[in-house]
Structures are given as structure tokens and as C-alpha cells.
Amino acid sequence: MALIAAFFCACKEKNQPAVPSGDGALSGEFSVSETTKVHFSQGNLQYVGTWQFAEHQWEYFGNNQSDNHRDLFGWGTGDAPNKVSTDYNDYISFVDWGTNAITNGGNKATQWRTLTKDEWEYLFSFRTDAGSKYGAAKVNGITGVVLLPDNWTLPSGCSFTAGMTNASSGDDWGSVVSTNIYDASQWSLMESAGAVFLPAAGHRSDTDVDDVGLYARYWSSTPNDKTSAYLFFFDSNNLSPLGTYKRYFGRSVRLVR
């Protein structure tokens, strides 16, 4: 495992009331800076003619990407979900996906937002006991990473082991995950206790989708240079909140509020 240490929204400041869950927000609170806590959305963002969150945290479209059926987005395409151009000039401006009304996320504009690269880094590197609060997992048969909230109590009948499963990049990661394996019923207990699951949904270039179930790339709202932006990524033996890649590639989006 290699961890590279490299707003606008309702958020929680210290000594202020917590952001409520519900309306598409999960119950767990996660520190993303010394003063800010957020709730994650119930699933990855999807565009199906309207914006919605996946019904379950493990769900993604995978290779079945098309207009009005998409969950791998170019950077900042909150105003153009079906943009698949590979021209850098088409991704100069960032429009946050959270500016849209999300049908099962309160259905009002500007209720959600995308984490910055500093917030992804704080979440995985600097919050209290950060290294003990994530681990490779398989949920309902889907490979990904489990992320635990700040205040965590393991549900009775469940187990959790921190860290990433070691395997070479070319291995079938799903076959070597030996801990944190949850069926739908077990995951319901973990989710009720505040756990978040980020599935390895693959990535897209133009209309080609690759590495579904093996890799994940989750956009931040932070540009790197005029052609690339920061993202959180993981695969079978690496995890980093400070990756960068070309803006035109289609990546997963997980919003917070």
C-alpha cells in the first residue's frame, strides 16, 4: 500500500450543529479540514436525463455508458454531463455537479458540492486516526474502499481491517480481497453506523471504458494546470488523495454536503 501524502455548501464548523443527514445524505460525519465536517451522498452521481445518486453505494454503470446513462464524467461538467470530447479547451472552466438539483438528493440546486484536493488529503491523511479509517473491501460482490466516519463504533456481527490489500496492478483485485467482505445485509449495518463505500467503477476515455472493478478515480474540484486536475484514486496496491490526470477523462463523482 502506498499512501501519497502528498465552497459553498452547508458544512459543520466546530461547536455548531451538524449538517443533517437524509435527502440523499448518509449519516456518518467526516472531517475534511480542522473546522469542516461533511456528509457523503448515498451513492455515486449519475446522469439519466436528470441528475440522481445511485440507489446503493456499490452501484455503478460500468461499461454501460451512454447519453442519459452516465456516471463517469469529464472534469467540471456539471453543465454538460454528456461531454466526451478529448479537446483540452472544452474543460477550461469548472462547473460543480452539486449546483444541479439532484432528484433523490433534495431536488434543489446548490445543496451539494465536490471535495477539494486539500479536503480529500485531509480526509485520508490528517484527520484523527486517518490511517485506521479506510480499507479495501468488497460490498455485495463489488470491489472498492470503505471509509469510516470520525466517530465510529463497529456494528455487532461485522468486522473491519484497515489498509489496502496488496496485489500487483495486473491481478484480479476482486479475487484477492480477503477482508472486509460484506453482503447486502452486513453492509446495511455498516452503512447505518456511518460507513461510506467508494466502488472501483473504472474510468472512461472518449466512449471507451476500462478497468471496471479494478481502478477508481474520483474527481476533486481543484485544477492542477490548464489541462489536468486533482483526483482521489485507488487500485489494487495504491491509494492517493493527490493524484492528477487529464480533465477530459471520465471519472466517478461523489458529492458531499
pLDDT value, residue 237 = 72
C-alpha cell, 133: 479509517
* Confidence (pLDDT) at 51: 98
pTM for this prediction? 0.91
Q: According to the model, what pLDDT value does residue 178 have? A: 84
Please name the residues in contact with 156: beta carbons below 8 A apart, sequence gap of 6 or more: 189
What residue ranges in the chain does DSSP mark as E strands?
Answer: 30-31, 37-38, 45-47, 51-53, 134-139, 142-147, 181-182, 196-199, 203-205, 208-210, 216-223, 228-234, 239-246
Instruction: Quote the CA–CA distance of 32 and 123 in Å, as a whole number.
Output: 5
Per-residue confidence in pLDDT tens, the chain, 257 aa:
444 333 333 334 444 445 666 799 999 999 999 999 999 999 999 999 999 999 999 999 999 999 999 999 999 999 999 999 999 999 999 999 999 999 999 999 999 999 999 999 999 999 999 999 999 999 999 999 999 999 999 999 999 999 987 655 556 666 778 899 999 999 999 999 999 999 999 999 999 999 999 999 999 999 999 999 999 999 877 899 999 999 999 999 999 99
Return left, alpha or beta for 9; rule: phi > 0 is left, psi -120 to 50 is alpha, else beta: left
Query: Residue 60 in contact with residue 138, Cβ under 8 Å?
Result: no
**Cα distances (Å, whole numbers) of residue 157 to 70, 188, 190:** 36, 12, 10
Tell me which residue has cell 492542477: 224
What residue segments make up the domains of the chain, in order of their start?
A: 10-257
| CB-CB contact of 230 with 224 (8 Å) | yes
